[in-house]
Amino acid sequence: MATGDSPAGARRRVRLAVREAREAKGYTQSAVADAMDWSLSKLVRIELGEVTITPNDLRPLLTFLGVTDKDVVDSLIQDSRASRRRKLWWDEPKFRDALTPAIRQLIQFEAEATEYRSYNVLFPAPLQTQAYAEALFRSYGGSELPEDVRRARVETRQRRRAEMLRRNDGIKTYVLLDEIALRRPYVPRDVMVDQLTDVLSLVERSDVMVRILHFDADIPPSLFGAFEILTLPTGDAILYRESGLSDELVEDAAEVTRHREIFDLRWDRALDDDESRAMVERTIKSLSSGNPPAGAAPPGSTGRGTRRRREAE
């Protein structure tokens, strides 16, 4: 199956077409579910991409929604068949019960994305070492995340990491870390040293770029927290946001564009590749010697925020 015809992409095309046709008619989800003699949850899950829709269900649904163009209908029926993929590892009960619907969809899109961008105050999930992920999840109590769920989520991150780094089809990975990710002790010192050392090995690859957004970067305030953006083979993109134990996958083009603009601005104002690598190296040296994490941009750094502040002085 070609990348552009992946199950995730096919399912996305179907659910977006269904939702857009319903909204164009001005129908509520309840009205459509009643007309099709379905439960409301069935239609909601179809539009969210949590379940596939069979060709036998899709044909009458498209007719009811006024989608009658033969080429369009045939294309969506083909997508419906393509989306009904064989079960993969994230469908196994231990993962399905531990992962949110948004994460399960995100994993599928990661397999076909051409570009991955992440802005975070932590190392992004697909690039975390196992020890780093385990240390983060230990911060949750058993009432928040049972032990079996934590184990499944740690294993999920390791699988995502392995699959992303194994891809040889040119996916570009852009990781933008807030300086706080290096300076705040979210995890034990030895775990952080190993994670940072791993980062240095990753940036040796031509497809992985890591930059540090230092504290004095010249950027406007933003209400956006951590987020990930995946660019798909079709050229459009999806946004993933996670806050604590809640998360969401966003496909609204305007919302994705706003986040991409914020990312690009911060990427441009961050320390450049060499300066970012030097900061990571200093932090490793400092932590290994038992000192607090090293400071941010050194004298002479060329990050735009530092340069503009000097010019103002």
CATH of the domain at 7: 1.10.260.40
Tokens representing residue 15 in the block? 């659910």
Q: What is the pLDDT of residue 312?
A: 36
**Same domain for 305 and 156:** yes
What is the total count of domains within the chain? 2
Q: What is the pLDDT of residue 309?
A: 35
Tokens representing residue 206 in the block? 């031509």
Task: Give domain status of residue 94, yes or no.
Answer: no
Task: Give domain status of residue 252, yes or no.
Answer: yes
**Same domain for 75 and 191:** no
**Same domain for 70 and 106:** no
**Same domain for 187 and 276:** yes
Give the pTM.
Answer: 0.77
**Same domain for 58 and 185:** no
**Same domain for 215 and 278:** yes
**Same domain for 226 and 107:** yes
**Same domain for 193 and 117:** yes
Tokens representing residue 201 in the block? 């090995």
* Angstrom distance (rounded) from CA 117 to CA 210: 10
**Same domain for 168 and 135:** yes
Q: What is the pLDDT of residue 172?
A: 92
Q: What is the pLDDT of residue 88?
A: 77
Domain boundary among 61, 86, 111: 86
The string of DSSP codes covering the chain is --GGG-HHHHHHHHHHHHHHHHHHHT--HHHHHHHHT--HHHHHHHHHTSS---HHHHHHHHHHTT---HHHHHHHHHHHHHHSPPP-GGGSHHHHTTS-HHHHHHHHHHTT-SEEEEEESS--GGG--HHHHHHHHTTS-TTTS-HHHHHHHHHHHHHHHHHHHH--S--EEEEEEETHHHHS-SS-HHHHHHHHHHHHHHTTSTTEEEEEE-TT---------SEEEEE-TTS-EEEEEEETTEEEEE--HHHHHHHHHHHHHHHHHS--HHHHHHHHHHHHHHHHTTPPPP-SSPTT---HHHHHHHHH-
Q: What is the pLDDT of residue 300?
A: 47
Q: What is the pLDDT of residue 9?
A: 77
**Same domain for 62 and 139:** no
Q: Could you tell me the CA-to-CA distances from 164 to 81, 128, 136, 202 in Å, in that order?
A: 26, 12, 21, 12
Domain boundary among 64, 86, 108: 86
Question: Could you tell me the CATH number of the domain that includes residue 250?
Answer: 3.30.870
Task: Give domain status of residue 92, yes or no.
Answer: no
Q: Mark the ranges of the chain whose per-residue pLDDT is less than 70.
A: 1-6, 85-87, 168-170, 223, 292-313
Containing structural domain, residue 206:
99-312
